[in-house]
Amino acid sequence: MTKIYKFQDDVSTDAFKELEKHSSLAIDTEGSGLQIPYRDKLSLVQFSTGNDDAYIIQPNRKNYKASNIVKILENKKITKIGHYLRYDISGLEYFLKCNVKNIWDSKIASRLCRTYSQNHGLKDLVQEFCGKKLDKRLGSSDWNKNLNELTDAQLQYCSNDVIYLHKIKDALHKMLVRENRLELYENCIQFLKTRIKLDQSGFTEDIFQH
């Protein structure tokens, strides 16, 4: 059973102290839609320590003040593991006005080492490395409801997006080393912030294409 902790506005001091003890944290966000940051807004932030727990925070959408979350995101000693961080970091940096440091992206890693597959969704990685079937049907649901109105199914859904990421990272890291693509992966991660700035400046196409 996943231990789920819910917070309004920001994680509590106690939860912050607990999260800060870890050298890596899984992270995910939910928004009101995919067009972050201009049309859609950041609705939820989730963390996991990798021990079948989920910290679900509903930021204050009026002021987006969450200094504990920002401290975690900016702490370069804590690796933030996410899947397709191009979306999450864009929203986190825009709304929480921060600079996310030390990131690890399972989608980029998967594209570089799982060349035998066309499928690089979180669902596919959870299936392959954790042997679990993720139900993604609640992905498009109303995350702007009051925190205490979110259903158990919604809470479990947004927990599932973070609880498997540590295990997936370990597996993909080994494969990147095996396939001699770790350096290429690291260079892609270096570029991710620039890719996000391009998105936010309206250059959403692949600027390297002919």
Tokens of 178: 């095996």
Do the beta carbons of residue 134 and residue 126 sit within 8 Å?
Answer: yes
Rule CB under 5 A: say whether 161 interacts with Mn ion: yes
Smallest distance, Å, CB 162 to Mn ion? 8
Q: Which of 10, 11, 27, 28 binds Mn ion (CB under 5 A)?
A: 28
Query: Biggest alpha carbon distance in the chain?
Result: 52
Tokens of 105: 């992206």
Smallest distance, Å, CB 171 to Mn ion? 20
Q: Give the CA radius of gyration of the chain.
A: 16
Smallest distance, Å, CB 13 to Mn ion? 26
Q: Which lies closer to Mn ion via its Cβ, residue 7 or residue 176?
A: 7
Do the beta carbons of residue 26 and residue 165 sit within 8 Å?
Answer: yes
The number of residues that bind Mn ion (CB under 5 A) is 2
Per-residue binding string, Mn ion, 108-147, x by CB under 5 A, is ----------------------------------------
Q: How many helices (H) and strands (E) does the chain have?
A: 8, 6
Binding site for Mn ion (CB under 5 A): 28, 161
